[in-house]
A = this chain, B = another copy of it.
Amino acid sequence: MRKTARRSMAETTPKKKRLVESASRLFHRQGVEKTTLANVADDAQVALGNVYYYFKAKDDLVAAVADKRAGGIEDLIARLDTRHDPHERLQGLVQAWVDDRFLDALYGCPVGSLCFELARARGPLSENAARPFKALLGWCEAQFRQLGAGDDADCQALHLVSALQGVSLTAAVFGDPELIEKEAKFIGHWLRSLQVHEV
């Protein structure tokens, strides 16, 4: 009757989904280039040759993971949009980074690291690499505009997204999740200063 989360997933979840989830985790920890299809197949408990039934080539699996990342950002945005005011929504975004700080301080932001790896390669996959960033920047800009930022809203959005991406990278370089907490507090002060300016 004892079941670990992984085993129960391995037994119940369809193989295609398991492959994407294993790839998602391994791409985060090792990067796309260092992760082999044998790694993914093994982690998902799928025979190596069977991977090609679900994905014609490695790039198709990478594209599926990239879509999952973009969807994750869009889901996060949708959850934040249930909050009442733009200041709380932006603070919620920062809090999402704090929530993930232990994993991100080991392997970086899963979205940033993957999108960067795909964009730098400048192959066919780099087309959609900017999608999560476009969503995030556009959403942040709308929040800052509602805070009364006016023509500065796009600069503030870029600054916020950059700070979050940058601290994920820095924390990963040091392996220290407290850096994310520290930067989150700093950003929190900044956001609060914009709000009181507004009221």
Q: Which residues in A have some Cβ–Cβ distance to B below 8 Å? A: 29-31, 33-34, 106-108, 112-113, 115-117, 119-122, 129-130, 133, 154-156, 158-159, 161-167, 169-170, 172-175, 179, 182-183, 185-187
Contact = CB atoms under 8 A, between A and B. Distances in A.
A107 B120 contact: yes
Q: Is the interface of A mostly helix, strand, loop or mixed?
A: helix
B133 A120 contact: no
A161 B165 contact: no
In the complex this chain forms, how many copies of it are found? 2
Given A164-B166, A165-B165, A166-B166, 10 more contacts: A31-B120, A33-B34, A108-B116, A113-B120, A116-B169, A116-B173, A119-B175, A133-B174, A159-B186, A159-B187
Contacts of A119: 172-175
Nearest to A107: B120
Contact of A163 (B159, B179, B182): B159
